[in-house]
Structure 1
Amino acid sequence: MIKLIIVLVLHCAGKLVGTNEQCDFYQFDHPFYPGESCKEIYDSNTQTHNRSGYYWLINPLRHVYCDMEQRSECGNIGGWTRIASVNITRGDECPTGWNKSSHDGISFCRSPSDNGGCYRTLFSSKGISYQKVCGMARGYQKGSPDAFVSNDGVIITHGRNPRVHIWSYIAGHSDEDPEFGGFYNCPCAVVPGQNSSSNNYYCESGTNDRSSSSAYYLSDPLWDGFDCPTGNTCCDNPNLPWFYRELDMTTLDDVEVGICPDENISDEALLVDQLELYIQ
């Protein structure tokens, strides 16, 4: 009898099994009532809608955070599995591969080396097959990052050999200054810089003035959708800082996030204080 109950429970996502109500009673947080994914629980039980929190999944049994809200910035659908949540403003530590640092009372994650390069960290997909990715990043600019001339920013990918691009958060010299003809600015700046080969990105600068390699631009966070000058379109997307991307095919790959300045910290740095990633 015990074996039979367990088998039935494992096949009824987020619901009590063995009733005449076709599994429509929801036990919010109990390992006896797991689902195969957050999306499967969301689709099969309306009682979970708008009830984000920790749910149990099977194969293997594990406890994960499910976002059950119908967010406009994530395609107006619920049932997202959270794989990353980093918020340095609430005292979180940086993920493995990044260093925690601070300047003028503001803390953030940065690359572990003062030299240029892409310093990556992996976030597990938790064994879930997915085709959609939603998330956000926020950070700050130090010095003079070169936008798409050298892809200075936070780069989100999946897979290896090759890495498959998901989204980029890029930083440029200035939101409007014409130094070098704007070459190192974002394409959306008042004086636009080099274009990207992809549309899957956000780009912004932390200053409207000519950037200085020694300055930390902490009064204007990057990619938050605010403080863009007239004639600059970098803040136009109403979903900023959130992105939503549907991949070409499903995958089980972990998601990799790189902090990628191409020059020494004496010239530039990317400083990240918030990151969230969800898959479906």
Structure 2
Amino acid sequence: CGSGGWTRLAYLDMSDATQNCPSGFRPYQSGGVRACGKHGGGCVSVQFPSNGISYSQICGRVIGYQYGRVDALNNYYIDSHYVEGVSITRGSPRQHVWTLIAGRSELDTSSRSCPCNNGNSDIVPAFIGNNYFCESGTNASSPSTTLYTADPLWDGQGCGSLESPCCNVPGIPWFHRDYGSNTTTDYIELRVCASLSSEDSPVSYYEIY
């Protein structure tokens, strides 16, 4: 995250058997992988209060897995399930911090896959801008309703085929926002979202400072 006084607001490591999913999240287990996703369509949310700490920067990383035929971006507004993946925002009304998009396939150029894939011309919503990472967990053209554990999402590794530009972005797997002289005590919110119950990108690890 760089120098300065950083305070950890959020931490989850599901490889630690003593840790459990946040309240309301759906637990997944496949092989040796444990992860936390959503029930049904829409989003599941967890909020992390700043505990009165005033901050001007946010830094963190999230690792997840693809489940089913995720659709990348749904082009809705920020309060809805605009992404099939993870949305990180601050405060109310929500202000966008970072989006972690789950694309359908490494071999796909449609709007259902990563906008950073070679050959994809999908438009990223203005409120996201360049503040996103995207990855798919499979090269299957029509993914099945299974948890793809071989290729974790948003770790900057395993971007095969058309997806190679998605891993070649500054900072990955760490996201970083600097608000300059604008400080806030807003809480941070992490949502896991997708439009259908058969689509998910459960998280196995996160840390936010």
CA contact (8 A) 1:141 1:269 kept: yes
User: In structure 2, what is the Cα distance between the partners aligned to 1:230 and 1:275?
Assistant: 27
Output the amino acid matched with 1:273.
S
CA contact (8 A) 1:147 1:171 kept: yes
Residue 145 of structure 1, CA deviation: 1.0
Match of 1:175 in 2: 106
User: In structure 2, what is the Cα distance between the partners aligned to 1:210 and 1:257?
Assistant: 29
Residue 240 of structure 1, CA deviation: 1.7
User: In structure 2, what is the Cα distance between the partners aligned to 1:214 and 1:191?
Assistant: 26
SS of corresponding position for 2:144: coil
SS of corresponding position for 1:233: helix
CA contact (8 A) 1:97 1:119 kept: yes
User: In structure 1, what is the Cα distance between the partners aligned to 2:203 and 2:67?
Assistant: 11
CA contact (8 A) 2:28 2:37 kept: yes
The equivalences for 1:57-96 within 5 A come to 74=1, 76-91=2-17, 92-96=19-23
Greater share of residues in helix: 1
CA contact (8 A) 2:87 2:98 kept: yes
CA contact (8 A) 1:109 1:273 kept: yes
SS of corresponding position for 2:35: strand
Match of 2:70 in 1: 145
Residue 213 of structure 1, CA deviation: 3.4
The equivalences for 1:234-273 within 5 A come to 234-247=166-179, 249-265=182-198, 268-273=199-204
User: In structure 2, what is the Cα distance between the partners aligned to 1:144 and 1:230?
Assistant: 18
Poorly superposed stretches of 4+, deviation over 3 Å:
none
Output the amino acid matched with 1:218.
T
Output the amino acid matched with 1:156.
I
Between the aligned residues of both structures, percent identity stands at 41
Structure 1 192/124 Cα, relative in aligned 2: closer, same or farther at 3 Å? same
Higher relative contact order (CA 8 A, sep 6+): 2
The reply on whether 1:205 has 2:136 as its aligned counterpart is yes
Unaligned runs of 5+ in 2: 75-81
Query: What is the CA RMSD across the aligned residues, in angstroms?
Result: 1.7
Equivalent pairs, count:
196
Output the amino acid matched with 2:10.
A
Larger radius of gyration: 1
The equivalences for 1:217-232 within 5 A come to 217-231=148-162, 232=164
CA contact (8 A) 2:106 2:161 kept: no
CA contact (8 A) 1:122 1:256 kept: yes
SS of corresponding position for 1:192: coil
SS of corresponding position for 1:81: coil
CA contact (8 A) 1:140 1:272 kept: yes
User: In structure 2, what is the Cα distance between the partners aligned to 1:87 and 1:211?
Assistant: 30
Structure 1 209/173 Cα, relative in aligned 2: closer, same or farther at 3 Å? same
Q: Deviations over 1:203-252 (max 9, x none)?
A: 11011231323232110000111111244301102522110001373211
User: In structure 1, what is the Cα distance between the partners aligned to 2:160 and 2:177?
Assistant: 27
Q: 1:109 aligns with which of 36, 44, 50?
A: 36
Unaligned runs of 5+ in 1: 1-73
User: In structure 1, what is the Cα distance between the partners aligned to 2:100 and 2:140?
Assistant: 20
Output the amino acid matched with 2:206.
L
SS of corresponding position for 1:80: coil
User: In structure 2, what is the Cα distance between the partners aligned to 1:238 and 1:253?
Assistant: 26
Match of 2:24 in 1: 97
TM-score by length of 2: 0.87
